DNA sequence: CTTAGGG
DNA sequence: CCCTAAG
């Protein structure tokens, strides 16, 4: 039972997706037995095709590895089961593999090779991004998943006739790859056989691009298109590790990429698999930072990307970036981009989960999804993770919060016995550290629900938090029940903060939503009146001191909404009560009116002056307003 | 860390 | 409400 599970590197490297080529152990090779790292060769042929390496080539590579292992930077001992060709590594410098060939390096885990706890954690929550992708590539042990595809729309050359593409490994429908992609957007049915990218026109490249990525592209640049397609066809591997280089209309892969293969399913360390460039530090070259650049600047540096230079491409990119400072693409952008590429692996996590009931989940082994139903009837999907022998079920999360968890959760952490650091981390990551505003409730809930409490104490509610609850409750005394529900002193905040939650009215409420109460709104308005819009942290500190769950951003957002509402409502001034759909807290027209006033005031006078000038007026006015409604 | 804006 | 870029 092999399980190929790809795992993203770390939180900061979400864009990494597993390499696509599943290599097979060749048990017959003594080298591999001796060496825990198995490198399998895949050749990128001169015309851009990928063909499996011949035995001879494999042997050559193995020789290379023997000759100079330092050329390959394997960083297993630093926690990364990643092999990367160094900048002076053989793909470019070794004449035997120059130009048109590239290596795809693969390392398989060897039983007994310890995995760092880190990796366990990463593996646990990285499966969404990467594991899904690799699962489908889990072909037979002796099989190298073909990565070549060609369009069958007839307009694409059939290179076999030319003799160059004489060794096509067609991806037929029903093959391990395409069969899993049935749910995905990219239409692989159009990609059969192989593509000699350099023979394609721009239009054809567009077609291919669409078939590959499931989306259109407007890029006219043939080189770029070819690069992208080649990348996509090689299973959307990570840019940074793949780094195709186009030379003379040939797609050449610059660096090896990595597939980790869990040969031994029973490996104690768990699903183990590590991902590629978890970081780019050290001697590893080509890493995350270049992803954006490759896309962004590829058009600009076409002339430069000859093979001889491709190693220094990063420098060039760096230079260019320095020369022209641009706003860095958001992480979301990058993620979405890489997400598109990963889609060709078919089912996202969601679909895997959904298919778990019929046993078709591509996630095998340790990451088998389990569907639970809580007492309240809400389905909770978790997965079983073997962690230190004890089964730990952690909820699935699609995306992990990448920034530091909020303090509340940290306080939870502090309450835990030190021995469960790993589990804490796991759970924390699994939770994405979301809901830390209600950190205790969350953690509490999860731990209780998942029965991992054996080694995780139920977190205590600190005194300050009790106080907090009390204050909230007190402040909400005049509010409607909806609010009271949430501040129920029992501390049971329900699951409202885990995922979206069905409301009483059947709707779906957002994750950590806490309805704004009227008094909160009033406080906000008052605060804005007093301190001026924009001084959110000040308002938060002074007017919302007891509302720990309202961040300054929340205040800002709410104010924004209030403004919108007030300006939208102002003309009619009536009929809004009905127009609000889920009007849990209908905002009285008077308040909206006040909001509008303030908005106008703030717009006219700079905040610093207006704050004092209108303080008295604002205050009284708001209080009047409030008295009328409370 | 805070603010401003987009999602 | 979330996320992130900027300051």
Minimum CA–C1' distance nucleotide for A434: C2
Minimum CA–C1' distance nucleotide for A555: C1
Contact between A224 and A299 (Cβ < 8 Å): yes
In sequence order, which residues have a C-beta less than 8 Å from that of residue A96 and are 6 or more positions away? A60, A64, A90
Q: For A209 and B6, how far is CA from C1' in angstroms? A: 28
Q: For A599 and B5, how far is CA from C1' in angstroms? A: 18
CA distances from A69 to A38, A87, A261 (A): 12, 14, 21
Q: What's the pLDDT score for residue A599?
A: 78
Q: For A562 and C7, how far is CA from C1' in angstroms? A: 26
| A537 CB inside 7 Å of strand B | yes
- Taking Cα atoms as reference points, which of A210, A244, A207 lies closest to residue A227? A244
pLDDT for A96 beyond 70: no
Q: For A51 and C3, how far is CA from C1' in angstroms? A: 42
pLDDT band for A593, please (50, 70, 90 cuts): confident
pLDDT for A535 beyond 80: yes
- Taking Cα atoms as reference points, which of A485, A464, A466 lies closest to residue A476? A485
Which is more confident, A537 or A372?
A: A537
Q: What percent of chain A has pLDDT over 90?
A: 1
| A534 CB inside 7 Å of strand B | yes
Sign (positive or negative) of CA dihedral A152, A153, A155, A156? negative
| The Cα angle at residue A167 between residues A192 and A145, in degrees rounded to 5 | 60
- Taking Cα atoms as reference points, which of A56, A53, A87 lies closest to residue A71? A87
Q: What's the pLDDT score for residue A97?
A: 33
Contact between A387 and A120 (Cβ < 8 Å): yes
Contact between A22 and A144 (Cβ < 8 Å): yes
Q: Which range has the top average pLDDT, A165-179, A430-444, A546-560?
A: A546-560
Nucleotides of B under 7 A from a protein CB: 1-7
What digits encode the pLDDT tens for the residues A266-317?
Answer: 322 332 223 333 333 333 333 333 333 333 333 333 333 333 333 333 334 4
Minimum CA–C1' distance nucleotide for A330: C4
Q: What's the pLDDT score for residue A72?
A: 35
How far apart, in whole angstroms, are the C-alpha atoms of residue A384 and residue A368?
Answer: 6
Q: What's the pLDDT score for residue A225?
A: 81
What is the DSSP track for A346-371? ---HHHHHHGGGGT--S--GGG-EEE
* pTM recorded for the entire structure: 0.31
Q: What's the pLDDT score for residue A290?
A: 34
Q: What's the pLDDT score for residue A234?
A: 60
- Mean of the pLDDT values across residues A563-585? 60
What digits encode the pLDDT tens for the residues A140-149?
Answer: 333 333 333 3
């Amino acid at each position: 039972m092999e399980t190929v599970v790809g795992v993203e590197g770390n939180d900061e490297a979400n864009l990494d997706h597993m390499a696509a080529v599943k290599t097979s152990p060749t048990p017959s090779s003594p080298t591999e037995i001796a060496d825990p790292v198995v490198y399998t060769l895949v050749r990128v042929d001169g015309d851009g095709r990928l063909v499996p390496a011949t035995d001879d080539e494999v042997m050559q590579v193995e020789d290379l590895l023997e000759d100079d292992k330092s050329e390959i930077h394997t960083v297993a001992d630093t926690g990364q089961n990643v092999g990367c060709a160094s900048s002076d590594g053989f793909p470019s410098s070794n004449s035997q593999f120059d130009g048109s060939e590239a290596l795809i390096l693969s390392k398989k885990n060897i039983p007994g090779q310890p995995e760092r706890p880190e990796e366990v954690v990463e593996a646990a929550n990285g499966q969404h991004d990467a594991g899904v992708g690799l699962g489908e590539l889990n072909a037979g042990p002796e099989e190298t998943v073909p990565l070549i595809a060609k369009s069958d729309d007839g307009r694409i050359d059939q290179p076999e006739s030319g003799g160059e593409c004489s060794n096509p490994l067609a991806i037929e429908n029903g093959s391990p790859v395409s069969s899993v992609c049935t749910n995905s957007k990219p239409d692989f049915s159009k990609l059969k056989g192989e593509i000699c990218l350099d023979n394609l026109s721009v239009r054809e490249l567009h077609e291919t691009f669409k078939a590959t990525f499931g989306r259109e592209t407007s890029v006219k640049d043939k080189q770029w298109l070819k690069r992208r397609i080649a990348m996509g066809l090689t299973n959307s591997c990570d840019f940074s590790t793949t780094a195709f280089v186009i030379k003379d209309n040939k797609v050449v892969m610059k660096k090896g990429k990595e597939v980790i293969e869990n040969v031994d399913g029973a490996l104690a360390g768990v699903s183990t698999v590590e991902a590629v460039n978890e970081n780019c530090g050290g001697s590893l070259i080509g890493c995350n930072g270049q992803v954006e650049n490759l896309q962004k600047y590829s058009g600009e540096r076409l002339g430069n990307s000859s093979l001889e230079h491709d190693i220094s491409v990063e420098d060039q990119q760096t230079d260019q970036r320095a020369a022209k400072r641009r706003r860095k693409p958001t992480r979301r952008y990058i993620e979405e981009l890489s997400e598109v590429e990963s889609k060709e692996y078919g089912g996202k996590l969601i679909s895997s989960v959904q298919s778990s009931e019929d046993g078709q989940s591509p996630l095998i082994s340790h990451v088998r999804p389990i569907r639970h139903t809580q007492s309240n009837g809400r389905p909770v999907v978790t997965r079983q993770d073997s962690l230190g022998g004890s089964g730990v079920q952690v909820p699935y999360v699609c995306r992990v919060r990448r920034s530091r968890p909020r303090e509340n959760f940290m306080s939870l952490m502090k309450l835990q016995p030190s021995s469960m650091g790993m589990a804490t981390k796991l759970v924390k990551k699994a939770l994405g550290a979301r809901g830390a505003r209600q950190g205790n409730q969350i953690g509490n809930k999860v731990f209780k629900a998942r029965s991992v409490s054996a080694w995780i104490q139920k977190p205590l509610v600190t005194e300050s938090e009790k106080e907090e609850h009390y204050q909230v409750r007190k402040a909400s005394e005049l509010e409607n029940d909806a609010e009271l529900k949430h501040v129920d002193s029992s501390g049971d905040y329900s699951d409202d903060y885990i995922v979206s939650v069905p409301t009483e009215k059947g709707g779906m409420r957002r994750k950590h939503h806490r309805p704004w109460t009227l008094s909160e709104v009033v406080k906000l308005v008052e605060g804005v009146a007093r301190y001026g819009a924009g001084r959110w942290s000040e308002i938060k500190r002074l007017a919302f001191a007891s509302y720990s769950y309202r961040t300054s951003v929340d205040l800002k957002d709410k104010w924004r909404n209030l403004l919108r509402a007030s300006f939208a409502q102002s003309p009619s001034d009536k009929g809004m009560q009905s127009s609000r759909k889920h009007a849990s807290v209908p905002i009285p027209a008077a308040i909206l009116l006040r909001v509008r006033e303030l908005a106008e005031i703030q717009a006219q006078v700079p905040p610093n002056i207006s704050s004092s000038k209108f303080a008295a007026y604002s205050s009284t006015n708001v209080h009047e307003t409030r008295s009328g409604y409370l």
